[in-house]
Structure 1
Amino acid sequence: MEARQIPHAEGDLTAPTPQNTPAVHSTMSQLSRPQVPDTIGEDEEEIPTIGSDAATGGPNAQLANHPLLASLVQSRLHGLVGRSSGYIASLPSTIRQRIDGLNGIQVEHSKIEAEFQKEVLELEKKYAHKYQPLYEKRLQIVTGKIEPSESEIAAGIKAAEEDEDDTDSEADGEPRPPRVPPTAEELAQAPKGIPEFWVTVLGNHPGLSELVTERDQAALKYLEDIRVSYLDGKPGFKLTFYFGQGAKEFFENTLLEKTYYYQDEVGYTGDFVYDRAEGTKIEWKEGKDFTVKVETKKQRNKNTNQTRVVKKVVPTDSFFTFFSPPNSPSEDDDLPEEEQEEIEQRLELDYQIGEDLKDRIIPRAIDFFTGKALRYEDGVGEDFSDYDEDDDDEDDDDDDDDDEDGRLVVPGARKTKKAPVPPTGATPASHQDPQECKQQ
């Protein structure tokens, strides 16, 4: 009989075991095997929830008939999670003294962990300097200042052919078209560099593609480079966006920066803790601000029957809001819970985008341009033949909350869709139909 995972019972009235209370008073040998099966058959008994035994008149049925009482009981039980049961305080003083000793050892462990993270950061800085000559050459090729060398072209062709052998594009057995070097005449007539390189890179990233609007693309096609650098004397990093002169049609800046600051001390998990972010103030040309839109409404006077046009500037979605990060709410801010949660989600999303730019997009920009990077995103190109078929509508709600390697998935944020790999290379973002981009 096919087994299925035990569903999460939101209405389960069983009180959670306090975090520091032994669940059972048994020998350690009994802990080597689970006390309950991992899966249950479809004909086995379901986990009881509020209302599940309504027909039998059990205690859950009584609660089901009193929703307010059930809600109160549920909230009280959930409030027990993480609270001390008094177990530690009830232990003999000799055992509690040993526990204090273990806590002291943990303090020393945390100090070593902090040293480790600081050395890792210094190692990242060291290798960041080694990457700079490669990024500089990439910039010169993208902007058309130099052409790649014959050895670089040969290495790229070899890597591409090896990669194509591993993709489904070669499964039909058709020979790949031969690579013919361009003639001198073709080189002379071709546009310089790689047009719209970075706007295509950003558009092919599953998270950033949700932020880049059609209006943004007009300015982002002049984006020439994105660099990452580390801060001196404090933990954190800075992202610098370099724009060509064509972007001056929209704003005066040629450099836009976004700086992320970590706290000086590492967190409980041993990692640096995000503190805040600061962005460059964009000097928009009149009427060119992509982060706002003008809403026009007509108002009619009830007494005179005259009409007037009222224009209102309101915020709108734009990639360039990335340079105006939200501020963390302080303890003195008396904000509604929903508004505070929304700000926290925006902060987490903003930080994750910065991390993705630093760790994934800048180092592998060419892979996002060609679409190769999309094959390594979660769920893209995955073989589902080994999975059992489930109903289409089963666990839809749970899927939206799944963590995807800590990328851009934030509770309440839009779930990104991944574009398929372009079969014949990447298409510049400004050449794509916006509706097609949304469907990818």
Structure 2
Amino acid sequence: MDPSLMEWVKIMVPDMYLYFAIINTIEGRLRSENTHALPPSVQRRVKSLKYFQSKHAELEAKFQEEVLGLEKKYLDLYRPLYIKRREVITGQYEPTDEEVSIGEKVDAEEEIAHIKADEKKDEDDNTKSIRGIPEFWLTAMKNNPQVAENVTPEDENLLKHLVDIRMSYTDKPGFRIEFEFADNEYFTDKVLTKAYYYQDHVYGGEFIYDHAEGCDIHWKDGKDLTVTMKTKKQRHRGTNKVRTVKQTVPAETFFTFFQPPTLPAEDVELDEEEAERLDAKLEADYEMGEEFKEKIIPRATDYFTGKALEYEDYAEDEEFEDDFYSDEEQEEEDDDDDEEDEADESMQPSKRENAPECKQS
């Protein structure tokens, strides 16, 4: 309870003050991990609860192990489908008429006439020379808002070379995401990896995130997207001569995804603001990995077509929209406020002149 409010209650309503004081004492005990102030018989019961909680934690750990085993089992069952998907995307496999027909029936909203028109156009303009499905993974990533906001136009030129995105489970609890690329002008790597690891213990039926490990990218000369070159002029104090200095600075790019934020050494202390920034970075990095693991990889086709967005919570909230004004609406409201102020002024017997202006930054 607010101390100033407590002081007011103490003066004005003594009995109520006593009530709030008791409540605050109880709340303080409940929030505190120190149970020594409790009566011995109650302490004994609390210790028994800790025993039951420990047994519950053991069951949670077994539950999570079984869930992880089930996820691994079904990933093995999914894998042949993912392999086929990759072969279609890269043009290594041409779907059969039966597979295409079943695929049409899966999407009840598909317009058959439109499909046939596209097929006819395909034959007429000789686009059968197109191999696979160009820019499949780039399109899927751009249709995921959380990932898309980290993709720059220059990134797109490189991500067009994405051949496949897949995942696997690590020996230690965790998962690894692999990005396979075709030959490109940016780097020599064929596969870029990012692994996320969990802590050894389980809490609340869930693994607790521990850290992530990226990989080194072997950029070709002048093609590193993670840095940019900036030039600045320096003037010599004595001779007054000017020289141009070039320096590399970090650049905004999706590929910093492979350079995850890390915790400082144990002997390094961060102030509150730095700690909050680091926590935000760690959380955002993990959430990005989850987007690939839980959404983009298993539902890549839906993200490519945009259908996945129908099931995401990305629609603008009406109440949220009401909190914002267009410029015209704001001007109208300001005019109304001015009229009301003028009416109020006419009703006031006196008013300070030259009042300070309220400026909004």
TM-score range, shorter chain: 0.7 to 0.9
Structure-1-length-normalised TM-score: 0.64
**1:205 is aligned to 2:153:** no
- Cα distance in 2, alignment partners of residues 362 and 13 from structure 1: 50
Work out the CA distance in 2 between the residues paired with 1:388 and 1:308: 52
Q: Corresponding residue for 2:105?
A: 158
1:375 and 2:310 correspond: yes
Q: Provide the residue aligned with 2:17 in structure 1.
A: none
Looking at structure 2, the residues matched to 132 and 317 of structure 1 have their Cα atoms a distance apart, in angstroms, of: 33
- Which of structures 1 and 2 has the bigger CA Rg? 2
SS at the partner of 1:260?
A: strand
SS of residue paired to 2:163: strand
Offset of residue 59 of structure 1: 4.9
**CA distance in structure 1 between the partners assigned to 2:228 and 2:174 by the alignment:** 33
Change (3 A) 1:250 1:237: same
- 2:31 is matched with which residue: 83, 88, 99? 83
2: CA distance between counterparts of 1:261 and 1:295?
A: 36
**Aligned-pair distance for 1:339?**
1.9
Which of 234, 239, 252 aligns to 1:304? It is: 239
Aligned counterparts of 1:100 and 1:295: Cα–Cα separation in 2 = 62
Number of residue-to-residue matches in the alignment: 308
Equivalent position SS for 2:132: coil
1:236 counterpart residue number = 174
Partner of 1:139: 86
Shift of 1:158: 1.6
1:213–1:318 CA contact under 8 A, matched in 2: yes
Specify whether residues 262 and 127 from structure 1 end up closer, same or farther in structure 2 by C-alpha distance, changes over 3 A only: same
Unaligned runs of 5+ in 1: 1-11, 16-47, 51-57, 61-76, 166-174, 394-440
Q: Separation in 1 of the partners of 2:58 and 2:3?
A: 39
Shift of 1:373: 1.0
The 2-side partners of 1:93 and 1:316 are apart by 61
Question: How does 1:5-154 map onto structure 2 within 5 Å?
Answer: 13=2, 59=8, 83-84=31-32, 89-154=36-101
The alpha carbon displacement at 1:355 in A equals 1.2
Candidates 250, 255, 279, aligned match of 2:191: 255
CA RMSD between the two structures: 3.1
Which whole-Å CA distance do the structure 2 matches of 1:333 and 1:388 have between them? 41
Aligned with 1:365 (options 300, 320, 325): 300
User: Residue type of the partner of 1:212?
Assistant: V
Is the CA contact (8 Å cut-off) linking 1:375 and 1:381 kept in structure 2?
no
- Tell me: CA distance 1:185–1:260, structure 2 relative to 1, closer, same or farther (3 Å): same
Provide the rounded CA distance (Å) in 2 between the counterparts of 1:82 and 1:223.
54
Change over 3 Å in CA distance of 1:206–1:390 after alignment to 2: closer
* 1:112 Cα deviation from its structure 2 partner: 0.5
Instruction: Tell me the CA shift for residue 127 of structure 1.
Output: 0.4
- Contact 1:328–1:344 (CA<8 Å) still a contact in 2? no
Q: Could you tell me which amino acid in structure 2 is paired with residue 239 of structure 1? A: I
CA shift, 1:155, in A, is 1.9
1:340 corresponds to: 275
One-letter amino acid of the structure 1 residue matched with residue 130 of structure 2 = P
Q: Please, what TM-score do these two structures have when normalized by structure 2?
A: 0.77
Deviations 1:7-31 (A, max 9, x none): xxxxx7269xxxxxxxxxxxxxxxx
